[in-house]
Structure 1
Amino acid sequence: MSVIRVPRRKNLRLAALISLAALFAGGASAATPPGFTLGSPNVAVADPPVPRPNTATCTVQLFSDFTFSDFSNHPYNYAPPAGCKGPWSKVVLEGDFSVTAGRQFDRTASLWLAGSNIYFGTTEEPSATVAPSWHIERDVSDFSSLLTSAQTGQAVLGNIVDDTYTGVIHGSAKLVFYKSSLLVPAAQSPDAVYALSDGGAGSPVNLNTGADLLSRSITLPTNIERAYVDVFAQGQQGDEFWYSCVPNEVADEAESCGGGAYREAQVSIDGQAAGVAPIYPWIFSGGIDPYMWRPTTGVQTLNFLPYRVDLTPFASQLNDGKAHTLAIGVTGANSYFSVTGNLFVYLDHHRKVVTGALTANTLASQPPQATVANNLTDTDGVIGGNVATSASRTFELAGYIDTSHGRVSTEVKQTVSFANTQAFTINTTTYNQAIDQRTSVDSTTTTREGIFGLPVTTRLQASYPLKAEFTYNFDDAGNYVSAPSSVSQGFERQFSKKAGGLTLYRTDTSNTIHTGDTLTFTDNAVTGHSGQASTQAFRFSDSLGSCYARDIGTNSGTLASVVDGSGCPRGRILLLWFTHPDGSPDTSRTETPYIF
């Protein structure tokens, strides 16, 4: 649920209105995305579809036209496709959602199978004249071990429908299975998936404070070679605009939310720090000013990407046959973060027990802690200056295991940084807050098999830039008159894999959005808006020739332009079938520490 963000002085919250052989399989056929119509107010995003191989397919419908008009969960049953026996080269989740015209909040949506999360995102808000519909896709090949047998699942999408909030949400979802072949090999999917959710049929867990944990006790196989956990952490209610919050001691002066701006997810094993997951500043379709997000939503608003944490250095600890407590917490949570995760493990199929040791964990001695510089000044009742928050940690995690194919050592070196500066100008007629935030990650994993084995090094660099500015203008009586707002938001990801000094694979992903709008008020109620305009630019390329580029422009709430292929060879989009152009993690194929 989103609200228009307004300064706290008025104590108002206005409801939102509104492998090389694979290369010879032929380039890639990508599923055709929904068509674009210039002048249309319907949802239009530049995000790429999931690329598909040119092989036979089978489809399993998970559910059709579910109606979401309350907060009850919607169960469904899954059975493996009879005509497509695994292993599969790829499995893709497709979902189609819509909401009827009227008034409705944005809502959080999630899909679950055997208690594991297979989709997490939010919905678009409708208007009195627009009933938006949208399509989502996600590569779910990592869940193949669950998909080989019958499972139960559920859709979680709470929604209120009454005399005020009239928009009814509908949704359908299916899985598309792609057969493997000699030229289109099966994905190296994890051998098992363990849900980090509510412990039941599947639902996120709410963490209200930084001390709260999503915690699960799990007894794992004793022959784990690699382990990863995908983390989702979504700010809700008081934490929806967490990037605009300041420390409690200056919250009144800055007329903003308290709790500070520093947020970061922590992963632990048996209470020991084991990894860090930076949090993306997702903005819901009703957030700040809902008109800014029509018809193009914020980065990943409709389809969140998880952050993948490598737990492989801890494999020897997880292999001891005992129950282990895996937990996720959110530093700075201030009512509240909605959190879930999936643990993926790869096994040694030729040894029942794999032993080894954890050899380094410098993260354990570096608790998450931010530095805050309060530079606010009060000059005759006029507030100015800024509040700057920063945090950075560099750490190493290392371990080895003795497998059926020799000793394998894994070393993870990572730097995670956070910086948030909020500048304020507050007087009797104006409230202005300008936010400049960036979260960045630089992570290198080196894997070596045997004493003389060639080291394989993967490097991930990611950055989450956010710039937002809110201005509220008041009349002499202190009533709202207008509120111009602007947001620039990005998702940058670069990945490379090397064997020794030879580059095996490299990708670049960039998703940027710039948007702005001005609300107008009468008697402190929103009565109109003007100047809505936005642009989204999505770019993906890899070292094997893939290239995706789409630019979208909107104006006054309708689609104004769509340009494909800018910067690609001959202006053509080409996506090799095994790529992840959306920037999602891919340790089942291209990002595995092993060579293609």
Structure 2
Amino acid sequence: MALIDEAGRKGLWLGLTGCIVACAAPVALGQASPGLTVGSANVAVADPGVPRPPGKTCTVELFNGFTFRDFSDHPYTYAPPVGCGKRWSKVVLEADFAVTAGRQFDRTASLWLGGANIYFGTTQEPSSAVAPSWHIERDVSDFASLLAQPQTGQAILGNVVDSTYTGIISGSARLVFYPANILAPKVEAPDAVFPLSDGTNGGTVALNTGGDLLSRTLTLPTNIERAYLDVFAQGQSGDEFWYSCVPDALANEAESCGGGSYREVQVSIDGQQAGVAPVYPWIFTGGIDPYMWRPTPGVQTLDFLPYRVDLTPFAALLNDGKPHTVAVGVTGANGNFAVTGNLFVHLDRGRKMVTGALTANTLQGQPAVATVDNQLTDTGGVVGGSVTTRASRSFRTAGYVDTSRGRIATEVNQTVAFRNTQTFTIDPTRYEQGIDQTATVDSTTKTRQGPLGITVTTETHFDYPLQANFANTFDGSGNIVSAPSSVTQGFSRQFSKTLGGLVIYRSDVDNSIDTADTLNFTNGAVSGHTGQRSTQQFRFRDNLGSCYGRDVTTASGVLASTADGGGCARARNQLLWFTHPDGSPDTSRTEDPGVF
């Protein structure tokens, strides 16, 4: 988090298918995105809403009119909907937040139910004249087993309200249920969810070093067929701007944070390495230069997406009826990462005990180690050059379970890669830093079932690019004069699912923002800003006819233009109701290799 008046020194911004064929026939358009008004300073994003199935709905309110003035608990209770049964085609979380005009930090927000995280994001910062409000939607159909029973939950949104920080945050949230019908069959949701949080009511766990772990010992069902772990890892405090950091030995020379720039999530089962997840470089709305994010925040800033780790090859190990420890760590964590996760399992309903074996795990024993190429030089008090950090691993996990439907064998092959290059120019009149970073995952999962060896293959590519440039200029007395900054940030996901050589489903998601602003200073204090502009572009397309495109541009802190249908036929957005255009994980319909 960063306050504008903290920026008066060098580097201050551092304050940061079974159903496919049956379900493809009815084409239901996604719910229209909230209206955008050109000239408005309110929050404006290009992200799509959650597509909705046809039919009636039932709404269950979680809370309404909560105000967040301090760090007190905000509990609520939940009971399943009346009149919608327990067979749902989709369940959608809707939340609305607002903050009064004034001065306030960006704040981390999270919602919990039965100890499980159902929403994680941050808040928009207000200004003295603008009281922003924003709307959140998330497909929570994977929590159907949890939602079938009464639960307790809580909203966690710590805030400080006093004579300096005057912005009061408020919010409400509800769950919208869509009963299954002939056009929208019952969701094939996981049979159980096991939260990895700080306790029974839910909450993130702070990991301050690379050796810290979020660890939970669970006694799981003995008939697991498939298992997935959704993980969140968000940099806070000293790790808010982790992507800008250099190794400790270079921190003084580069006038930057130490600890290095390499971050990656490690998942283990009983101490055995089991999976890897990249860390998305989310940027708070007060990060670097708060004006860059008004009125359009960074990619996913208001609504994080988890990364899904496929633990299915380890299902046989989990089925022995003994307690097992699932742990999550963040390589390179340097005070602190807020971490949580949800373990989803699909069960064999025809057997109480499922046996099998883990047959391969080449991830075990591969350390998460980065190499650093230091090209910094110091010539007569002028520092220049670059620091490049790289890491890459390829691994294979495989296993099988003997189910009531025959043997199911799963093989996961992944390559994860990370690169961060930082350039510096530092002299008495300027401090310039550039960042060019990307984290990628290439993943292929093959699932073979039955004596015929029918194989379903899913391939997924993730890319998390980040480019940032910022500079502080100084006068002859060493006073800061201006601080221009720019950021280009993206989220890209390409997915395909094939049965033999037949493509069953394919989708592409691209979400990007390009933004810039210049802070101006007088006597070391911010006196204004100039040149604010941004463009967010969102694109989604699949092979079943879904298409979504929206472009949002801003200038001088207000919405300048918006255009829908980019890349779509007749410039028309159209989404099949069961798709995930935001790129969020999906085991319920098109993307689960275990669903034929």
TM bucket normalised to smaller:
over 0.9
Q: Return the offset for 1:566.
A: 1.6
Distance of 1:274 and 1:199 partners within structure 2: 23
Alignment of 1:169-184 (within 5 A): 169-184=169-184
Secondary structure of 1:66 counterpart:
strand
CA contact (8 A) 2:8 2:480 kept: no
Distance of 1:220 and 1:100 partners within structure 2: 45
After TM superposition, what 4+ stretches of structure 1 lie above 3 angstroms from structure 2?
A: 1-16
Distance of 1:5 and 1:186 partners within structure 2: 53
Q: For the structure 1 residues 51 and 544, does the alpha-carbon distance in structure 2 shift closer, same or farther, using more than 3 Å as the test?
A: same
Which ranges in structure 2 are unaligned for 5 or more consecutive residues?
none
After superposition, the C-alpha distances for 1:291-332 in whole angstroms (9 at most, x for unaligned) are 000000000000000000000000000000000000000000
CA contact (8 A) 1:2 1:240 kept: no
Cross-structure match for 1:443: 443
Cross-structure match for 2:243: 243
CA contact (8 A) 1:47 1:582 kept: yes
Distance of 1:313 and 1:36 partners within structure 2: 46
Alignment of 1:84-483 (within 5 A): 84-483=84-483
Cross-structure match for 1:545: 545
CA contact (8 A) 1:505 1:542 kept: yes
Alignment of 1:574-593 (within 5 A): 574-593=574-593
Distance of 2:540 and 2:463 partners within structure 1: 15
Distance of 1:7 and 1:382 partners within structure 2: 22
Q: Return the offset for 1:454.
A: 1.6
Alignment of 1:472-511 (within 5 A): 472-511=472-511
Q: For the structure 1 residues 12 and 406, does the alpha-carbon distance in structure 2 shift closer, same or farther, using more than 3 Å as the test?
A: closer
Q: For the structure 1 residues 10 and 492, does the alpha-carbon distance in structure 2 shift closer, same or farther, using more than 3 Å as the test?
A: closer
Distance of 1:11 and 1:304 partners within structure 2: 26
CA contact (8 A) 2:266 2:275 kept: yes
CA contact (8 A) 2:10 2:431 kept: no
Q: Return the offset for 1:594.
A: 3.5
After superposition, the C-alpha distances for 1:557-578 in whole angstroms (9 at most, x for unaligned) are 0000000002201111000000
Which ranges in structure 1 are unaligned for 5 or more consecutive residues?
none
Letter in 2 for 1:316: A
Distance of 1:28 and 1:585 partners within structure 2: 21
Distance of 2:590 and 2:109 partners within structure 1: 29
CA contact (8 A) 2:13 2:287 kept: no
After superposition, the C-alpha distances for 1:343-400 in whole angstroms (9 at most, x for unaligned) are 0000000101000110000001211000001100011110000000000000000001
Distance of 2:8 and 2:326 partners within structure 1: 38
Q: Return the offset for 1:169.
A: 0.1
Secondary structure of 2:534 counterpart:
strand
CA contact (8 A) 1:283 1:298 kept: yes
Q: Return the offset for 1:83.
A: 1.0
Letter in 2 for 1:160: V
CA contact (8 A) 1:7 1:256 kept: no
Q: Return the offset for 1:476.
A: 1.1
Secondary structure of 1:472 counterpart:
strand
Q: Return the offset for 1:132.
A: 0.1
Distance of 1:11 and 1:296 partners within structure 2: 24
Distance of 1:595 and 1:347 partners within structure 2: 13
Cross-structure match for 1:50: 50
After superposition, the C-alpha distances for 1:266-308 in whole angstroms (9 at most, x for unaligned) are 0000111000010000001000000000000000000000000
CA contact (8 A) 1:247 1:261 kept: yes
Secondary structure of 1:455 counterpart:
strand
Secondary structure of 2:550 counterpart:
strand
Cross-structure match for 1:536: 536
Secondary structure of 2:40 counterpart:
coil
Are 1:76 and 2:76 matched, yes or no?
Answer: yes
CA contact (8 A) 1:141 1:187 kept: yes
Secondary structure of 1:176 counterpart:
strand
Q: Return the offset for 1:144.
A: 0.4
Distance of 1:256 and 1:140 partners within structure 2: 40
Q: For the structure 1 residues 373 and 3, does the alpha-carbon distance in structure 2 shift closer, same or farther, using more than 3 Å as the test?
A: farther
After superposition, the C-alpha distances for 1:136-170 in whole angstroms (9 at most, x for unaligned) are 00000000001111100000000000000000000
Q: For the structure 1 residues 456 and 487, does the alpha-carbon distance in structure 2 shift closer, same or farther, using more than 3 Å as the test?
A: same
User: What root-mean-square deviation, in Å, do the aligned CA atoms of Structure 1 and Structure 2 show?
Assistant: 1.4
After superposition, the C-alpha distances for 1:91-126 in whole angstroms (9 at most, x for unaligned) are 000000000000000000000000000000000000
TM-score with structure 2 setting the length: 0.98
CA contact (8 A) 1:80 1:149 kept: yes
Secondary structure of 1:63 counterpart:
strand
Letter in 2 for 1:388: T
CA contact (8 A) 1:3 1:14 kept: no
After superposition, the C-alpha distances for 1:544-569 in whole angstroms (9 at most, x for unaligned) are 00000000000000000000002201
Letter in 2 for 1:499: L
Secondary structure of 2:206 counterpart:
strand
Identical counterparts, % of pairs: 69
Distance of 1:9 and 1:341 partners within structure 2: 37
Secondary structure of 1:142 counterpart:
helix
Letter in 2 for 1:495: F
After superposition, the C-alpha distances for 1:45-78 in whole angstroms (9 at most, x for unaligned) are 0000000011110000000010000001200000
Q: Return the offset for 1:13.
A: 7.2
CA contact (8 A) 1:5 1:13 kept: no
Q: Return the offset for 1:12.
A: 5.8
Q: For the structure 1 residues 13 and 539, does the alpha-carbon distance in structure 2 shift closer, same or farther, using more than 3 Å as the test?
A: closer
After superposition, the C-alpha distances for 1:505-525 in whole angstroms (9 at most, x for unaligned) are 000000010000000112221
Distance of 2:8 and 2:196 partners within structure 1: 36
Distance of 2:73 and 2:108 partners within structure 1: 13
Letter in 2 for 1:115: G
Letter in 1 for 2:592: T
Distance of 1:390 and 1:172 partners within structure 2: 43
